[in-house]
Structures are given as structure tokens and as C-alpha cells.
């Protein structure tokens, strides 16, 4: 009797199910990480922006909120932005948790934290 080569139907179905599950997870989670990349690059840009250096904390929050809206990032709210004064710098911290649904009752929560130091006027 010749040896069987290849996979059985049940094996193929199991592999396809695992691949589909991973694809669905990736389609749900990858956009969250793309939004976070926009937040991260915006925070890095704050450190070198001269218009932010002469602004008050309230004005800095408005600038950040405006830049996030331009980049279509709506998971970060003004409440997620914390500005503290440390010596001659403003320490800007954004901590946020985007949440979403994967499949059925399976949800995800991802926590992001970004900091930037901006010279105070």
C-alpha cells in the first residue's frame, strides 16, 4: 500500500479556520496601530515645533486635538491629554485605550502611552 501524501479534509479545514481567525484579528487591530503611529509622529513633531513653545497648556491641548482630527484619529480625546509643568518644560502625556470588537463577544483593549517634552515660555 502506498503512503498517503497531503492533508485530509479536516486538516485543511482546521488550517483555514486558523488563518481566517488571524486575518480577522489583523483587520481589526492593524488600523488601531496605524492610528497610534499617527499619534506617535505627532508627539515627536511637538518637541521641535516652535509655535507650541509659546503656547499655554490649554492652547497646546487645542493644537494637539486639531492635529489629531487632521490625521483622522478620534480615539484620543482631550481628557486623554495631560500637561504638567516640570522645571522649564511642559511634559505632555497622552494615555489612551482604544477598544473594539473582534468576533462575537470577543473584544480587545490596547493601551498606548506617549510623552513629549516641550520648552515652556
Which ranges of the chain would DSSP assign to H, the alpha helix?
Answer: 9-48, 50-53, 57-70
**What's residue 1's pLDDT?**
54
**What's residue 88's pLDDT?**
86
* Residue 118 bridge partners (DSSP): 90
**What's residue 36's pLDDT?**
96
Quote the pTM value. Answer: 0.80
54 with 46: CB under 8 angstroms? no
Average confidence (pLDDT) per 10 residues, the chain, 121 residues:
78 95 92 95 90 88 93 92 91 95 90 93 72
Amino acid at each position: 500500500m502506498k503512503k498517503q501524501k497531503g492533508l485530509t479534509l479536516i486538516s485543511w479545514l482546521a488550517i483555514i479556520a486558523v488563518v481566517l481567525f488571524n486575518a480577522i484579528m489583523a483587520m481589526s487591530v492593524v488600523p488601531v496601530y496605524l492610528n497610534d503611529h499617527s499619534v506617535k509622529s505627532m508627539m515627536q513633531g511637538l518637541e521641535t515645533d516652535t509655535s507650541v513653545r509659546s503656547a499655554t497648556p490649554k492652547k497646546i491641548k487645542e493644537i494637539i486635538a486639531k492635529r489629531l482630527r487632521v490625521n483622522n484619529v478620534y480615539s484620543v480625546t482631550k481628557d486623554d491629554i495631560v500637561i504638567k509643568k516640570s522645571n522649564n518644560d511642559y511634559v505632555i502625556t497622552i494615555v489612551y485605550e482604544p477598544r473594539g470588537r473582534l468576533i462575537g463577544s470577543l473584544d480587545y483593549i490596547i493601551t498606548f502611552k506617549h510623552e513629549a517634552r516641550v520648552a515652556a515660555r
